[in-house]
Structure 1
Amino acid sequence: MGPIKPPYNVAIIGYGMSAKVFHIPLIQVTPAFNLYAIVQRNPTPDNDASKDHPGIKLYRSSEEMVDDETVDVVVITTIPTSHFELCNLAMERYKYVIVEKPFTPTSKEADELINIAVNRDLFLSVYQNRRWDTDFLTLSKLVKEGTLGRVVEFETHFDRHRPEAPTGGWKTKSLPGGGGVYDLGTHLIDQVVVLFGLPDRITGFVGSQREHNPEGVEDSCTVLLHYDSTGLLATVKAGVVSPEVNQLRFWVRGEKGSYKKFHLDPQEDQLKAGEKPGDAGFGLEPDDRAGTLTIIKDGQPKSEPCPNIEPVTYSTFYDQFAKAIEGQGEIPVPVEAEGPKNVIRLIELARLSSKEGRTLKVKEHYAEVD
């Protein structure tokens, strides 16, 4: 694909919450991108992309859209079972691709897509937006600067109290690439791997916490990531039975100190409310939601509030993707697909570990999930 000049025409496949909340607002605040087209198979009077965004092209099928030579970037926001097919379709027409997480239901599919992108000299990136959660970036700074010392326990949570099974929508179905470990665990495992790299061993507990679960959806998970060389144990938890006023987000303990944080990054709720990056207060948490940093001083633990660093916001993803196109390979895409592929690999191993009731060596047992 030859060099192209901004603004780059973006087409989105799918018009659900992901497109409306996590992608369109960010595209709209990125000067290098133009919201050009949306693929919506079945518009309704109260859910019609062409009415919400006058002037765009509305396509009924992805096949018709990818034949439009003026489309530069395709953003895939559909269900995980469609990701491989749609990524492949877009790259066959030499489009740059952004795909929602989870990348694909299997690491084999992810690996194949990576090879296609490399062979066609195309940019392929996975929307792991929570790499830009401000509390995660704050914690990352503490870890990298050595404030906590050698980290031995790293807990990352995405717990909610939703004991009743939801009705309607693909997330209520037991599908490949579905369930809690793919939905929320993907974010959490990705954050751990970004910060510490791949673990040596993995122990998974994947299943359902709901008493009534007619579809058999794996709604919850606990995944232990063992790092033998440092002694680190990273615990990833996503549960649906957690009756807490304030849900735990991070609890990290090291030889010099600890960091504890409640509440989720506010950007998702702000985007749902119609706010955008650049608006006053976007990405900022109230002072009373600051994490707590405890440091050993004079042999005793001393605690103090640990406010988040200045937010860089989810719009960074689109800014960096635009820069990658402008640099034509000199600048990497914001999330290189190899990382999310490894996350899918770990999810496969976590599910295998859970099924067989044993801890697995990551490298040694990878072939067992093919």
Structure 2
Amino acid sequence: MAGGKYNVGIVGYGLSAKTFHIPFVNAVSDFNLYAIVQRSPKPDDDASKDWPHIKLYHSAEELVKDEQVHLVIVTTAPVSHLQLAKLALQAKKHVVVEKPFTPTSAEAQELVDLAKSQGRVLTVYQNRRWDSDFLTLKKYIDDGTLGRIVEFETHFDRHRPEAPPASWKAEHAPGTGAVYDLGTHLMDQVVHLFGMPQRVTGFVGSQRAVNATGLEDSCTVFLHYDDRKVLVTAKAGVVSPEVNQLRFWVRGEKGSFKKFHLDPQEDQLRKEGLKPGDKGYGIEADDHHGVLNIDNGGGKIVSEVVPTVEPPTYVEYYRRLAAALDGDMSKVPVPPEEAVSVIKLVELARESSRLGQTLTV
């Protein structure tokens, strides 16, 4: 149905669906928000009241039987991703899976193989490939401004030493913990830039003094690109009392790039009520821009604050997905094979941490 509307069915009606998917589905004219699966609507949390035109289903099994559904978006907890994505693919639906893809790389590969056998598009919602600061950094790497990269640090640190609020993210279950939650964002960007490393060293555990669940709340992962002579540090911590949290520090033979603060889109969506297309959405504050240092030769380093690029925003994920559904598979926003690689790195990081050893990929 190239060029037509794709009816979208969303499984789950929590933060992910409401904040990170529905606004962007609605922002792309190729898609029609058609149905939502919400098992137990409440008076103050009812998808059918928020979106009166949709069909409301109480199970994914009901949803995938609807022949009018073309695309299923799975937004539930990671432990259910394999089952729900498999159900949708077997029903000949295209599928988007919220990150982390699946708790294991074997499960992820099973879904990739199933999608190929069914002739359906499968992709994972690694939306931070369209963060403005990441795109700025990628530009400087791609155009050679920084020269050959030797060190790449990517951080998602916060100061939250208190116990987290109750949610599935705070439960000890397959696919939860810092390296699955924030680590997959960080490592997906790295794999997107550099491919797979040769070795992995992981430190995965808890920084909180009181952690009743025993759930891993922090991680530091070293990705060794021996072929490129690049060392990548991917770090997410919960005890980091900084006014300005470091986001990127990348050093190359010709220059370096240092950036503080996170891309603004999540806060704009969650805290400010902005939506795609609203004035200022996706635009970073001037005082959050990064610093570029360039070696002009003779030991002279010139430093300047450089503007963050104006991003296509997370809408680009769904624009690309629409093109892929129309037949241009080069536009699949996140190839599922790359998402499998990220889960493999998660597994290696956790095993490396357990063994206290650097592991070969």
SS in 1 for 2:326: helix
SS in 2 for 1:184: helix
Which residue of the partner structure matches residue 368 of structure 1?
Answer: none
Which residue of the partner structure matches residue 324 of structure 2?
Answer: 324
Which residue of the partner structure matches residue 296 of structure 2?
Answer: 297
Is 1:337 aligned to residue 344 of structure 2?
no
Percentage of pairs with the same residue: 62
What are the Cα deviations for residues 283-338 of structure 1, in whole angstroms up to 9, with x where unaligned? 111111100000112421111001111211000010111111112x5544111100
What are the Cα deviations for residues 73-95 of structure 1, in whole angstroms up to 9, with x where unaligned? 00000000000000000011100
Which residue of the partner structure matches residue 123 of structure 1?
Answer: 121
Alignment of 1:1-370 (within 5 A): 3=1, 6-272=4-270, 273-298=272-297, 299-327=299-327, 329-362=328-361
- What amino acid is aligned across from residue 231 of structure 1 in structure 2? K
- Could you tell which deviates more after superposition, 101-110 or 160-169? 160-169
SS in 1 for 2:291: strand
SS in 1 for 2:335: coil
The two structures have a TM-score, normalised by structure 2, of 0.98
Aligned residues: 359
- What amino acid is aligned across from residue 33 of structure 1 in structure 2? F
Which residue of the partner structure matches residue 367 of structure 1?
Answer: none
- Could you tell which deviates more after superposition, 304-313 or 73-82? 304-313
Deviation at 1:251, TM superposition (A): 0.4
The two structures have a TM-score, normalised by structure 1, of 0.95
SS in 2 for 1:322: helix
- Could you tell which deviates more after superposition, 223-232 or 294-303? 294-303
- What amino acid is aligned across from residue 233 of structure 2 in structure 1? T
- Structure 2: stretches of 5+ with no match in the other structure: none
Deviation at 1:226, TM superposition (A): 0.4
Aligned counterparts of 1:29 and 1:185: Cα–Cα separation in 2: 28
What are the Cα deviations for residues 24-56 of structure 1, in whole angstroms up to 9, with x where unaligned? 000111100000000000111111111111111
Which residue of the partner structure matches residue 366 of structure 1?
Answer: none
- What amino acid is aligned across from residue 136 of structure 1 in structure 2? F
- Could you tell which deviates more after superposition, 297-306 or 216-225? 297-306
Deviation at 1:274, TM superposition (A): 2.5
Aligned counterparts of 1:237 and 1:122: Cα–Cα separation in 2: 34
Aligned counterparts of 1:248 and 1:66: Cα–Cα separation in 2: 43
What are the Cα deviations for residues 179-207 of structure 1, in whole angstroms up to 9, with x where unaligned? 00000000000101111111011100000
- What amino acid is aligned across from residue 313 of structure 1 in structure 2? T
Aligned counterparts of 2:165 and 2:286: Cα–Cα separation in 1: 36
Q: Which runs of 4+ in 1 moved over 3 A?
A: 329-332
Aligned counterparts of 1:141 and 1:170: Cα–Cα separation in 2: 36
What are the Cα deviations for residues 115-164 of structure 1, in whole angstroms up to 9, with x where unaligned? 00000100001000000001001101101111111111100000000001
- What amino acid is aligned across from residue 71 of structure 1 in structure 2? V
Aligned counterparts of 1:271 and 1:330: Cα–Cα separation in 2: 29
Aligned counterparts of 1:318 and 1:167: Cα–Cα separation in 2: 31
SS in 1 for 2:282: coil
- Could you tell which deviates more after superposition, 291-300 or 100-109? 291-300
Aligned counterparts of 1:306 and 1:297: Cα–Cα separation in 2: 17
SS in 1 for 2:113: helix
- Could you tell which deviates more after superposition, 264-273 or 120-129? 264-273
Aligned counterparts of 2:6 and 2:275: Cα–Cα separation in 1: 20
